Structure 1
Amino acid sequence: MERSSQPRPGRRPGIQVGRVFGVPLYLNASILLLALLITVLYGQLAGQRLQLSPVGGYLVGAGFVVSLLASVLAHELGHALTARHFDIGVRGITLELLGGYTEMDRDAPTPRVELLVSLAGPAVSAVLGVAAVAATLALPDRTVADQLAFQLAASNIIVALFNILPGLPLDGGRALRALIWTLTRDRHRATEVAGWAGRALAVGTALAVALLYAIDVLSLLALPLTALVALTLWHGAGQSIRISRINRRLPLIDLARLARPALTVPTGTPLAEAQRRGDEAEATASQSVALLVTDSAGRPVAVVDPAAAAAVPPARRPWLAVDAVARSVADLPTMPVATQGERVLETVQAHPGAQYLVTAGEDVVGILHIADLAQLLEPHRKMNT
């Protein structure tokens, strides 16, 4: 599957192990669990079928792990190279427990590009599956090569078929979004519809897992992994719905109105006095203000951290300088007051923090609090205070 960068601010994809066609390749730590499970389970199965020693069976299992990871990588390269063909930057490919994902630096600009990029991965898996089927038919029965070819055929065909199911975060969900986007000309609505379709698929997958286990088609060992697939689908679909709702509200971001006005207090001012001035300003302006600490020349040097100030016992506040609960302006990211919605979100993702300086030229005109931005973008989401 492929993902844009926006849903996962600050996430570390894993350990970089190299580049493929110029695309950074990462391995998530969860891939070790997948490798161990397949090596042991498939190694035992192959050893029994081919009458190999335990060591021989595990070596075959390890060979299958390598072949399977190569297939997943080929699937993701289908997405990545198609995206680059349409001038969409690719940040990297990550292989993890349930397969892999391709991270792009922006979303597809048109429904057609979205459709082509989303279906490129399943198409590669389908081609690999057909090639493996042909190899299986051509190779002698009950040989190591025959077994590996058969398993690769089965796994690639299953991956291709499962990924084209019409629901996010699967590739078929991206294709469904492209079709709805074409019909409605509303990308956000298309994402929500495809996200809810993904949740329906997650529920269907969970029910199918339970049914297959009840009729002894799935073993107890396979149950947790297949159940994890259903949970991952549900979570990914929910994230897609959430991001679509956030993106719909991005045009509402106006830093001139959203940033808290900066009330300056001289360095060395007691915290209690600074808070008193802040309360008076808020009562007059009927909105929250931010306390900006200035030096003797009136230059801004720090911003009071509300959480740090609130943690100071009231009895100490008259004796504690405001500087003790302030952060240097040099440590805070800066945004010009004219910054538009999507650019604001990109800055927050690139520089996670609680406060941001909002400037007009060289002047600090306000302080953006991340809680205020979150409340604007997700007004119905419960925020931690």
Structure 2
Amino acid sequence: MQVGRVFGVPLYLNASILLLALLIIFLYGELAGQRLQLSPLGGYLVGAGFVVALLGSVLAHELGHALTARHFGIGVRGITLELLGGYTEMDRDAPSPRVDLLVSLAGPAVSAVLGAVAVAATLALPDRTVADQLAFQLAASNVIVALFNILPGLPLDGGRALRAVIWALTRDRHRATEVAGWAGRVLAVATALLVAALYAIDVLSLLALPLTALVALTLWHGAGQSIRMARIARRLPLVDLASLARPVHAVPSGTPLAEAMRQVADAAAGHQAADTTATNQAGDATTRAQPPVALLVTDSAGRPVAVVDPAAAAAVPAARRPWLGVDAVARSIADLPKLSVATDGERVLETVQAHPGAQYVVTAGEDVVGVLHIADLAQLLEPHRKMNT
């Protein structure tokens, strides 16, 4: 849910933030009420004040990343606050290890400064007052956030800093990301073991155990995603829409689905035969499988107007296909994202992330020359991952 803009950056709140707010208001509110001898309502109000201050601290941390990124010409799509903190979404990667290092360390630097200010306030304020209690909690929160975030493993800020250093040494951003991702997995396991040990010696209560365990699980998942994206990025130069997109076979609007599917099967067989003949003539024993043929629907003037959804077509019972027109299982081309056949792998991935879908129309000028299926792209980028085709 977007709640506004800060320095021009869109600010979003994840629904999980409500859980964090309720936990702090009730758990911390009771603790503060007992410590400061307040009524239950007074304690809950102090808890609510701490929620606001804590969210402000997390926002300041993320603004450190966002404003530093903008300083170096990297666009910022938004800041999201959630249960375990927040994250800043940028529209592209840092152009150099130096910029990556500075952007990653900007957030912990802000938290460290806020923590230092809150520590000074705690020392200056009278003991056992509402202001002193809030200052102490802010000091502890910001110092812990700063120290935890500089741990060297993705997805933490320290992991990004580690990636920047390895990137500078190896000149290979993808390898640096994988190394920092595996370091993040080590941190996740270490965090889980630490949580278990602290619980065993009664330092952590049973109530705190799920939240701290969630932190370890989030670290593991984030590190795994970083490793996965590094491996995908390494294969992006293999993306060639001219060969990856499914060739199209056009049928007029109103064509019975059974007839259209028969023509597609014949066209696919023709493409495969042509490819085999060309391979044999070249004397090359290696044969590359041709992608399936996509079914295009045209209007009375021969202009392409829709693309048949193969999953929807396959779901139609065979007995109904002679009586059902292709238009019933097709999507308008106007509703599908478009990619130029010359688009490189990085731009293709950006388009897919910005406009998630199953099919993408591939064009050469004004002509539709193919249809890219997300399953085909995924199979190319992650050949060892099981895919639903």
TM-score by length of 2: 0.93
Q: Paired residue for 1:198?
A: 184
Distance 2:165 2:46 in 1: 43
The structural deviation recorded for 1:91 is 1.3
The answer to whether 1:362 aligns with 2:366 is yes
1:301 paired residue among 302, 305, 324: 305
Map Cα deviations across residues 48-105 of structure 1 (whole Å, 9 max, x no partner): 1112221111111111111111111111111111111111111111111111111111
What is aligned with 2:388?
A: 384
For residues 66 and 72 of structure 1, the distance between their equivalents in structure 2, rounded to whole angstroms, comes to: 10
The 5-angstrom pairing of residues 1-385 of structure 1 reads: 15-286=1-272, 287=290, 288-385=292-389
Q: What's the CA shift for 1:195?
A: 0.7
Among the aligned pairs, what percent are the same residue? 87
Q: 2:275 matched to which residue of 1?
A: none
**How far 1:224 moved relative to its partner?**
1.0
How many residue pairs are counted as aligned between the two chains? 371
Aligned-residue CA RMSD in angstroms? 1.2
Q: Distance in 2 between matches of 1:71 and 1:296?
A: 62
Inter-partner Cα distance in structure 2 for 1:138 and 1:216: 32
Q: Distance between the aligned counterparts of 2:305 and 2:137, measured in 1?
A: 64
- State which drifts further: 337-346 or 266-275: 266-275
CA distance in 1, matches of 2:50, 2:300: 70
Q: Letter of the aligned partner of 2:212 in structure 1?
A: T
1:317, distance to aligned residue in structure 2 (A): 1.5
Query: Using the alignment, how far apart are the partners of 2:330 and 2:111 within structure 1?
Result: 55
Q: Which amino acid is the alignment partner of residue 211 of structure 2?
A: L
Displacement of 1:220: 1.1
Deviation at 1:36, TM superposition (A): 0.8
Q: Which runs of 4+ in 1 moved over 3 A?
A: none
CA distance in 2, matches of 1:330, 1:124: 46
- Whole-Å Cα distance in 1 between the matches of residues 55 and 49 of structure 2? 10
Match of 1:8 in 2: none
CA distance in 1, matches of 2:88, 2:303: 46
SS of residue matched to 2:247: strand
Name the aligned partner's letter for residue 344 of structure 1. V
Partner of 1:11: none
Q: Distance in 2 between matches of 1:123 and 1:159?
A: 10
Distance in 2 (alpha carbons) for counterparts of 1:275 and 1:96: 48
How far apart, in 2, do the equivalents of 1:333 and 1:133 lie?
Answer: 52
Structure 2 counterpart of 1:213, which letter?
Y
